[in-house]
Chain A
């Protein structure tokens, strides 16, 4: 299959292209030199902007937690429905759409790669079954490991090699891509109905602190040479004053940093950027966090911006989800997973007239506008926690247009508006910077070499938007920008046109990435014995029924890695 995209205005930050008219040639799913084409279909992209397909580094799209969310909220499914079409399954959704809807909707916005950021290892077979039924996009999932009994025990003994060997086994067994930490240690405490405060509170019975867990897994991640750093949902999420815990978290690995590139990724940092001592004086800690991120090279973050929507919160942070249930009075699902992790789901509506919600909204944008280097930031809402992914273009408009921000600010709670510094920030993201935070940066942080750029050899994942920066004032006409980004003119995935004018046109299936890490044989043998001895006493299933086979993934795409010492 050959495609030649002519006359598009290209934004390709990896290759330094900032709005140039460049032809893009596609062959066999890759971007190639135009000279290699023999018989290409020509797509005239005059008046269109081309960007590498969107990469969502953190979005809850598949697995037991997401599915329990679907069960909890039949009312959510009434908000958008669309009849099945030719070769297309029905669309049902909004904040927790069906798996087919997820794939079609991401494609409609020009997104082509999405990461499911937190899956409980024991139930990850379920996550993969759902990912298998999520069309078009390439995907991967991150097993949650911070409250895993084997991990806690290895780290308590200081056995980094053992922990690394165990996690290489785990990643292979559940076909995971990166290591996820969620309020480290908290899910184990929540197994008893308790929580942790800060990063120096020991986990009951295991007597290891979040700080020790974070540092241990940081070292393990490097040892395993994983393509992506550890992803961490910081402790004390949602609590006023928690920006200090976030700073502690970022600082706690400073002495371990060896290279001059990112090695710690803070997820949905907005929810952990709160100053103040209570709900009444909640204020922004975004400046402090941005200052730290600006002056340190080891940290990256994704945003976790909130939208004024009736949405669904769902995280592995069991204690926090319970707190949210008590605060809001809304229905609540809790699901703790033996020897591994936990989680909860609570519907939640962010209201512009609520002081707290309005402050939350300003905090995310403040952070994004104060981080100087866009390569350190990825655009997310922690879908669906902050809002549904289908509304990302609203956030894009706020980043790119101070006028859009003004219009939104005018409608929020007055006290929040006065308290926030957002009104005085006039920075506007350029299209180039937008391409960084929605594609190039997440691809780089994930270590997905074929994604996030349009250079020769890249995967042919391309988004074409009906935007002409020469004839449109991107700041003043923010509504048009928003609409253009919401309905991509064309979305190309693996060289195939999969969406036109913001509608998916066919059901294709992308790849599921996972990491296959080889560790030193002596460590592998050692942990095998540990597994045989302890697994059955910890779990309620047998060891041999735990791993997932490669054939269980619709399209398996492993990254083969040799850990240090191999």
Chain B
């Protein structure tokens, strides 16, 4: 029996790196410090695993040697005119880099889950920028914490205890040293523990943020209520924000995926920029997958763009809505797909899923998923952060190396190794003409 300490968790954007994982034989039997999601991933890591690579023959998926599966996957991509390579947020940076190299080689479109998640936040950043910092700054300095359209007590379970209201920082020692504000359309779990809860009418955040900016400047707001919120509450919040020593605003899909999308983050960024005239204020998107930020980061240094990259012309083209996977698939423009560490058949619109299944489909995933059940090639992979190592980037950009604590099941390779194999085979096919 062995206990590993300081193990970084491969689940959400918190990338907590203090897990204590106990292994007996080749089984994980206990996880200390982890949240419910973490425990679920670690203790169930052997469930629903794909035991061997498979190729579809008729209605059946038949087990084959890994080399056969890799060759078939390479051939599918090689023969396709416009393949889509999608997923990437739940695997290592090293694998993502290889994915981009592969997409360049086959002239496809490569996209990660950002395009259906925090994409609008990044689009807003491209317009206005982002006053930000790493999470330790918040832990040590922030006396005002705001969660807007984000419910960490159900999505990022240890965010508050590790980084915001519950963390022991250099200058903020306890809950008493912080004020918590929650803005949401309903009273979430997080709202219940807030000092201030602002209930905003659904899809009216843009107006509320505008009113806040006006209140900051002591401008007269003519209505009694904006977005369902009494103006006195808006003015009080503005005073709170302007009067703090260090404010940190975390935002989630409540803003990026409601009416306005990137415009909501646009004006939120303007608000935070404004606040920096009076005090120190930062903002941060609550990234979901443990390496979705890493996917953006690797995409950026290799292509210049964070997601939705078309490489069919031999150089990167970025046009969300045109080059994003869900849109390419929905418009039936692609003729093959490689899905890695993601399950779009369970999440994407019907037309996109129809395209997925009516064209050659390769899935690389440790587990059986909705997408893999009808795939033409299924290649099982090792779990990054449990069975193999790899670098991931936290929601604030801090890179942490994930480690393996057990060996992968017999014959199961890492995403990195699989992709390298496919890339080599594609190049061989191209050389042979």
Q: Which A residues form the contact surface with B (CB < 8 A)?
A: 62, 64, 67-68, 70-74, 76-77, 81-84, 89-93, 96-100, 122-123, 125-126, 129-130, 133, 191-193, 205, 322, 325, 331-339, 342, 345-346, 537-542, 544-545, 552
B354-395 contact mask (Cβ, 8 Å, vs A): 1 or 0 = 000000000000000000000000000000000000010100
Verify A83–B315 contact, CB threshold 8 A: yes
Selecting from B68-76, B305-313, B324-332, B404-412, the interface stretch reads B305-313
Verify A123–B399 contact, CB threshold 8 A: yes
Verify B125–A82 contact, CB threshold 8 A: no
Known contacts A67-B301, A74-B304, A126 near B135 by CB under 8 Å: no
B316-328 contact mask (Cβ, 8 Å, vs A): 1 or 0 = 1010000000000
Selecting from B34-42, B126-134, B197-205, the interface stretch reads B126-134
**Considering the chains assembled together, what is the distance between the CA atoms of A316 and B371 in angstroms?**
45
A328 to chain B, nearest CB (A): 12
Verify B393–A541 contact, CB threshold 8 A: no
Contact of A71 among B18, B93, B125, B276 (CB under 8 A): B125
Contacts of B391 in A (CB 8 A): 125, 129
Verify B304–A70 contact, CB threshold 8 A: yes
Selecting from B137-145, B184-192, B223-231, B336-344, the interface stretch reads B137-145
| 22 A-B interface contacts by CB (under 8 A) | A72-B125, A82-B315, A84-B314, A89-B302, A90-B303, A92-B304, A93-B304, A97-B304, A98-B304, A99-B301, A125-B400, A125-B401, A129-B391, A193-B279, A193-B280, A337-B134, A338-B133, A339-B140, A540-B162, A541-B398, A542-B6, A545-B17
Contacts of A540 in B (CB 8 A): 134-136, 139, 162-163, 167, 398
Instruction: Name which residue of chain B comes closest to A100, CB basis.
Output: B302
Instruction: Name which residue of chain B comes closest to A63, CB basis.
Output: B301
Is B297's CB within 8 Å of the partner chain A?
A: yes
Verify A74–B6 contact, CB threshold 8 A: no
Contacts of A539 in B (CB 8 A): 136
Contact of B397 among A82, A92, A123 (CB under 8 A): A123
Contacts of B101 in A (CB 8 A): 89
Verify B397–A64 contact, CB threshold 8 A: yes
B115-157 contact mask (Cβ, 8 Å, vs A): 1 or 0 = 0000000100111111111111101110000000000000000
B265 to chain A, nearest CB (A): 13
Contacts of A334 in B (CB 8 A): 129-133, 276, 282
A103 to chain B, nearest CB (A): 12
A451 to chain B, nearest CB (A): 25
A341 to chain B, nearest CB (A): 10
Verify A91–B315 contact, CB threshold 8 A: yes
Q: A125-B400, A133-B302, A539-B136 are in contact. List 12 more A-B contacts (CB 8 A).
A: A68-B397, A73-B126, A83-B313, A83-B315, A90-B315, A123-B134, A322-B276, A334-B130, A335-B133, A337-B134, A541-B17, A541-B136
Verify B297–A338 contact, CB threshold 8 A: no
Known contacts A77-B305, A90-B316, A91-B315, A337 near B128 by CB under 8 Å: no
Is B273's CB within 8 Å of the partner chain A?
A: yes
Known contacts A123-B398, A545-B17, A71 near B296 by CB under 8 Å: yes
Instruction: Name which residue of chain B comes closest to A337, CB basis.
Output: B134
Number of interface residues of B (CB under 8 A): 62
Contacts of A345 in B (CB 8 A): 129
Known contacts A90-B311, A540-B162, A338 near B316 by CB under 8 Å: no
A336 to chain B, nearest CB (A): 4
Known contacts A67-B301, A126-B399, A336 near B129 by CB under 8 Å: no
Known contacts A83-B315, A84-B104, A540-B162, A331 near B17 by CB under 8 Å: no
Known contacts A335-B132, A336-B137, A541-B400, A81 near B393 by CB under 8 Å: no
Is B219's CB within 8 Å of the partner chain A?
A: no
Verify B129–A333 contact, CB threshold 8 A: yes
Verify A338–B139 contact, CB threshold 8 A: yes
Contacts of A81 in B (CB 8 A): 315-316
A458 to chain B, nearest CB (A): 31
**Considering the chains assembled together, what is the distance between the CA atoms of A178 and B127 in angstroms?**
35
Is B246's CB within 8 Å of the partner chain A?
A: yes
Contacts of B18 in A (CB 8 A): 542
**Considering the chains assembled together, what is the distance between the CA atoms of A492 and B275 in angstroms?**
52
Is B193's CB within 8 Å of the partner chain A?
A: no
**Considering the chains assembled together, what is the distance between the CA atoms of A70 and B296 in angstroms?**
11
Contact of A332 among B129, B279, B296 (CB under 8 A): B129
Is B417's CB within 8 Å of the partner chain A?
A: no
A69 to chain B, nearest CB (A): 9
Instruction: Name which residue of chain A comes closest to B317, CB basis.
Output: A81
Contacts of B282 in A (CB 8 A): 334, 336
Verify B316–A331 contact, CB threshold 8 A: no
A546 to chain B, nearest CB (A): 9
B300 to chain A, nearest CB (A): 5
Known contacts A67-B300, A539-B136, A544-B6, A72 near B401 by CB under 8 Å: no
Contacts of A544 in B (CB 8 A): 5-6
Verify A338–B6 contact, CB threshold 8 A: no
A130 to chain B, nearest CB (A): 5
Contact of B314 among A83, A191, A537 (CB under 8 A): A83
Verify B304–A331 contact, CB threshold 8 A: no
Verify B314–A90 contact, CB threshold 8 A: yes
Is B168's CB within 8 Å of the partner chain A?
A: yes
**Considering the chains assembled together, what is the distance between the CA atoms of A186 and B140 in angstroms?**
17
Contacts of B305 in A (CB 8 A): 74, 77
Contacts of B314 in A (CB 8 A): 83-84, 90
Query: For A62, A97, A333, which residue has the most chain B Cβ atoms within 10 angstroms?
Result: A333
**Considering the chains assembled together, what is the distance between the CA atoms of A72 and B130 in angstroms?**
9
Known contacts A90-B315, A192-B280, A335-B133, A67 near B297 by CB under 8 Å: yes
Query: For B129, B131, B170, B171, which residue has the most chain A Cβ atoms within 10 angstroms?
Result: B129
Verify B315–A133 contact, CB threshold 8 A: no
Instruction: Name which residue of chain B comes closest to A77, CB basis.
Output: B304
Is B252's CB within 8 Å of the partner chain A?
A: no
**Considering the chains assembled together, what is the distance between the CA atoms of A129 and B392 in angstroms?**
11
Verify A337–B304 contact, CB threshold 8 A: no
User: Which residues of chain B (65-89) have a CB below 8 Å from chain A?
Assistant: none
Known contacts A91-B315, A334-B132, A337-B134, A71 near B300 by CB under 8 Å: yes
6 nearest A-B pairs in the assembled complex, by CB-CB distance:
A338-B136, A193-B280, A83-B314, A77-B304, A540-B136, A336-B133
Known contacts A334-B133, A542-B17, A125 near B304 by CB under 8 Å: no
B394-433 contact mask (Cβ, 8 Å, vs A): 1 or 0 = 0001111100000000000000000000000000000000
**Considering the chains assembled together, what is the distance between the CA atoms of A180 and B122 in angstroms?**
30
Contacts of A89 in B (CB 8 A): 101, 104, 302
Is B333's CB within 8 Å of the partner chain A?
A: no
Contacts of B315 in A (CB 8 A): 81-84, 90-92
**Considering the chains assembled together, what is the distance between the CA atoms of A97 and B137 in angstroms?**
30
Instruction: Name which residue of chain B comes closest to A334, CB basis.
Output: B131
Instruction: Name which residue of chain A comes closest to B319, CB basis.
Output: A74
**Considering the chains assembled together, what is the distance between the CA atoms of A77 and B164 in angstroms?**
36
Contacts of B296 in A (CB 8 A): 71
Known contacts A331-B127, A338-B137, A345-B129, A71 near B122 by CB under 8 Å: yes
Verify A70–B301 contact, CB threshold 8 A: yes
Is B60's CB within 8 Å of the partner chain A?
A: no
Verify A545–B8 contact, CB threshold 8 A: yes
**Considering the chains assembled together, what is the distance between the CA atoms of A98 and B101 in angstroms?**
13
B282 to chain A, nearest CB (A): 7
Is B10's CB within 8 Å of the partner chain A?
A: no
**Considering the chains assembled together, what is the distance between the CA atoms of A333 and B133 in angstroms?**
10
Known contacts A133-B97, A193-B279, A335-B397, A74 near B318 by CB under 8 Å: yes
B23 to chain A, nearest CB (A): 17
